[in-house]
């Protein structure tokens, strides 16, 4: 049995540096947990001469990823360099070299997770990816181990810190979307090109990974319906507040009668839903299991040390498996054939904000349209607008099927009394 496990690191940015720090600073605790010492011995960097926050011998640094992958002494590869196709090639090469892999790469896991798990298992290797979803929150382990005995019915996730920061600023400080985005960029949460965050793609990747695991079904990224927050206005938020809602970018995954649905969209959450209190750049995943009922996992969704915590915990799992001789034995084949819900099988409440002609019969036209589509009103708010002869109407519906809802959305555009359609949002939460 090995008395020292050697780790090869692909990437030494913020997260890679956090991994080296944790392995170096927690040596004693790690040795106690896994029964041997752990060292980072080979590291892929972009510049070997750069001054760094962590001390590593110069001979440990390399510009060639294959120096790490092919190093016969390295037992486990930690991938924190990002990228998709080239990185996938490197990880497949690592499995052929019988190296275990731990990654933080959500793009790669969302797109090729099943293929990489299969390759790992065929080579008797482990493939762990806790850090790919919600940084420091142990949600993958929570689903794979903690709730392994239960049937997961619904998951709702705030899995993107940038958008949660922006929406919190808009909601609590009345900032506009543009000002809040600029502040997120100045503080380093949002990228210079924030598209992947604000348009919901980052959250969609994470929800695909969670849904695949929770529903044991080969859910793919293209199965996730995505809508981002770039069109959310401060007026929408104010109307939501009046009705007792908080706006969040919610990843929603649900399974009923064997059929699954996964989506990401700006959602009005009832203020009494636990996710409504998750603010700033924090992440949280609400999981409803048939037996356990409601649970919620909360914490930092990004950052060097939080993400490194997940990676080093994955290292502990890999090394424990090495010592027990059970690497590559996790169940990787989904239990169920993928079955996605049809629009008739998906149900939700919605918030609809309209400007209508303030004239006799306008409301009855709206009522006729909603009732002809089988959609019933739960809450209605009418406010006069400054513009002469126009009123603002906010409607919250009872649950309706997505088929009926989409049909209504198409038809409402043609109603003569409708001056403009300001917004449509999903509504979720107890009492919502």
Residues with a known catalytic role: 206
Give whichever of 197 and 392 is closer to ligand HSE, judged by the CB atom: 197
Count of residues engaged in binding ligand HSE, rule: CB under 6 A: 9
Is 10 annotated as belonging to a binding site?
yes
- Select from 69-77, 156-164, 221-229, 321-329 the region that touches ligand HSE (CB under 6 A): 156-164
Please identify which residue in the block is written with the tokens 């939080």.
306
Task: Return the bridge partners of 300, or none.
Answer: 282
| Positions 111 through 150 that interact with ligand HSE (CB under 6 A) | 135
Indicate which single residue of 240, 299, 301, 304 sits in contact with ligand HSE (rule: CB under 6 A).
301
Task: Decide: is 80 part of the binding site for ligand HSE (CB under 6 A).
Answer: no
Q: CA-CA distance, 401 to 410, in Å (whole number)?
A: 14
| 201 counts as binding ligand HSE under rule CB under 6 A | no
Residue 322 burial (CB count, 10 A): 20
Q: Which is nearer to ligand HSE, 162 or 265 (CB)?
A: 162
The bridge status of strand 282-289 relative to strand 293-300 is antiparallel
Q: Round to the nearest angstrom and report the end-to-end CA distance of the chain.
A: 57
Question: Which listed range, 155-163, 168-176, 259-267, 407-415, lies at the site for ligand HSE (CB under 6 A)?
Answer: 155-163
Whole-angstrom distance, CA of residue 98 vs CA of residue 178: 48
Minimum Å gap between C-beta 18 and ligand HSE is 13
Binding residue for ligand HSE (CB under 6 A) from 87, 160, 263, 309?
A: 160
Alpha helices in 97-218 (DSSP H): 106-122, 139-141, 161-173, 177-186, 195-198, 201-215
Helix (H, G, I), strand (E, B), or coil: what is residue 361? coil
Q: Is 202 in the site for ligand HSE (CB under 6 A)?
A: yes
Q: In this chain, which of 40, 302, 352, 395 binds ligand HSE, going by CB under 6 A?
A: 302
The answer to whether 16 is a known ligand-binding residue is yes
Question: Exposed e or buried b for every residue in 374-389, given b needs 16+ CB within 10 A?
Answer: ebeeebeeeeeeeeee
Interface residue list for ligand HSE (CB under 6 A): 135, 160-162, 189, 197, 202, 301-302
Which residue numbers belong to the known binding site for L-homoserine? Answer: 191
């Amino acid at each position: 049995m090995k008395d020292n496990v050697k780790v090869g690191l692909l990437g030494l940015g913020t997260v890679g540096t956090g991994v080296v720090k944790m392995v170096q600073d927690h040596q004693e605790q790690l040795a106690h947990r896994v029964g041997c010492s752990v060292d980072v011995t080979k590291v892929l960097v972009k510049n070997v001469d750069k001054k760094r926050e962590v001390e590593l011998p110069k001979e440990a640094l390399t510009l060639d990823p294959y120096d790490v992958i092919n190093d016969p002494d390295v037992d486990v590869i930690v991938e924190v360099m990002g990228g998709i196709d080239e990185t996938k090639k490197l990880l497949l090469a690592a499995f052929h070299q019988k190296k275990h892999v731990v990654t933080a790469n959500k793009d790669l896991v969302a797109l090729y997770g099943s293929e990489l798990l299969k390759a790992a298992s065929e080579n008797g290797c482990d493939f762990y990816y806790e850090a790919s979803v919600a940084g420091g929150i142990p949600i993958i382990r929570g689903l794979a181990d903690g709730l392994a005995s239960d049937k997961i019915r619904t998951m709702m996730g705030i899995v993107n810190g940038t958008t949660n920061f922006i929406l919190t600023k808009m909601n609590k400080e009345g900032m506009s979307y543009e000002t809040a985005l600029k502040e997120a960029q100045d503080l380093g949460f949002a990228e210079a090109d924030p598209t992947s965050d604000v348009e919901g793609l980052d959250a969609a990747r994470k929800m695909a990974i969670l849904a695949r695991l929770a529903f044991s079904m080969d859910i793919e990224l293209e199965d996730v319906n995505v809508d981002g927050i770039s069109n959310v206005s401060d007026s929408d938020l104010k109307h939501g507040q009046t009705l007792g809602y908080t706006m969040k970018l919610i990843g929603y995954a649900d399974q009923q009668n064997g059929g699954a649905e996964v989506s990401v969209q700006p959602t009005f959450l009832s203020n009494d839903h636990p996710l409504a209190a998750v603010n700033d750049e924090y992440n949280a995943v609400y999981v409803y299991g048939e037996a356990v009922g409601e649970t919620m996992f909360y914490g930092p969704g990004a950052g060097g040390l939080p993400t490194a915590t997940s990676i080093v915990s994955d290292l502990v799992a890999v090394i424990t498996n090495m010592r027990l001789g059970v690497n590559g034995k996790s169940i990787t084949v989904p239990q169920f054939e993928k079955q996605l819900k049809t629009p008739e099988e998906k149900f939700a409440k919605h918030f609809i904000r309209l400007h209508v002609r303030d004239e006799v019969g306008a409301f009855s036209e709206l009522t006729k349209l909603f009732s002809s589509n089988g959609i019933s009103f739960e809450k209605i708010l009418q406010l006069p607008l400054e513009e002469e002869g126009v009123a603002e109407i906010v409607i919250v519906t009872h649950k309706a099927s997505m088929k009926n809802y989409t049909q209504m959305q198409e038809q409402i555009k043609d109603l003569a009394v409708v001056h403009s359609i300001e917004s449509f949002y999903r509504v979720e939460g107890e009492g919502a």
